[in-house]
Chain A
């Protein structure tokens, strides 16, 4: 079936640590995106990354479409990085985004 799976489900780190979040996606899902939902509920599009690598400040993402996975890297974590990180892919069959269950990240000061 059409699936997007994220790991780990929860992650607790000290400020300054680095982290890697993983997203596996099935066939028929493409156009991977990463979102951050902050503790106030706001959803921010971090990366639109169907393939390759992109960087934005302390965050970077890599998608290897042929192997059906994407990674989000957060370096030198700050407390403001806390929240839930979602990956989502667009199903080939329609316009719908298929969402992963999210990784809840807590950065402790």
Chain B
């Protein structure tokens, strides 16, 4: 019963490099989300996907792209990393009903 799985857990990038954060859920949830959390702050929504085949911008989408590959997988891509993107990234999913959101364990990204 894995829930939401994110990879990698840690990553260091140089400014200008690109990378993709992977996220997969096994709960048959329709909706998936990418958040970032800066030190001492709450979570801010980057992008979300209400259902397979749809994606929408959240509060802080600039510098990011997403792909909802299928119902299980939702990836986040940084095309040209900047130091301002140093943060902890969380993927989450939600279905209908009583269980609310489930979060992955996070990816700690440092851009130098």
Interface residues in chain A, defined as those with a beta carbon under 8 Å from any beta carbon in chain B: 31, 33, 35, 41-45, 47-48, 86, 88, 94-97, 99-102
In order of increasing CB-CB distance, the 9 nearest A-B pairs are A48-B100, A43-B103, A33-B100, A99-B42, A95-B50, A45-B100, A48-B98, A41-B106, A96-B45
Q: A47-B100, A88-B101, A101-B42 are in contact. List 16 more A-B contacts (CB 8 A).
A: A35-B101, A41-B108, A42-B106, A43-B90, A48-B98, A48-B99, A94-B56, A95-B48, A95-B50, A95-B56, A95-B94, A96-B48, A97-B33, A97-B43, A97-B101, A99-B42
Contact present for B58 and A96 (CB under 8 Å): yes
The complex places the Cα of A45 from the Cα of B105 at a distance, in Å, of 12
The complex places the Cα of A86 from the Cα of B105 at a distance, in Å, of 16
Asked if A99 meets B98 with Cβ closer than 8 Å, knowing A41-B88, A41-B106, the reply is no
Contact present for B42 and A42 (CB under 8 Å): no
Main secondary structure of the interface of A (DSSP, over half): strand
Interface residues in chain B, defined as those with a beta carbon under 8 Å from any beta carbon in chain A: 31, 33, 42-43, 45, 48, 50, 56, 58-59, 88, 90, 94, 98-103, 105-106, 108
Main secondary structure of the interface of B (DSSP, over half): strand
Q: Which of B33, B43, B45, B101 contacts A45 (CB 8 A)?
A: B101
A45 / chain B contacts, CB cutoff of 8 Å: 99-103
Residue of B43, B59, B100 with most chain A CB atoms under a 10 A cut-off: B100
Residue of A33, A35, A48, A97 with most chain B CB atoms under a 10 A cut-off: A97
Q: How far is the CB of A4 from chain B (nearest CB, A)?
A: 10
User: Can you give 26 contacting A-B residue pairs, CB < 8 Å?
Assistant: A31-B100, A35-B101, A35-B103, A41-B106, A42-B105, A43-B106, A44-B103, A45-B99, A45-B101, A45-B102, A45-B103, A47-B100, A48-B100, A86-B43, A88-B101, A95-B31, A95-B50, A95-B56, A95-B94, A96-B45, A96-B58, A97-B33, A97-B45, A99-B42, A101-B42, A102-B42
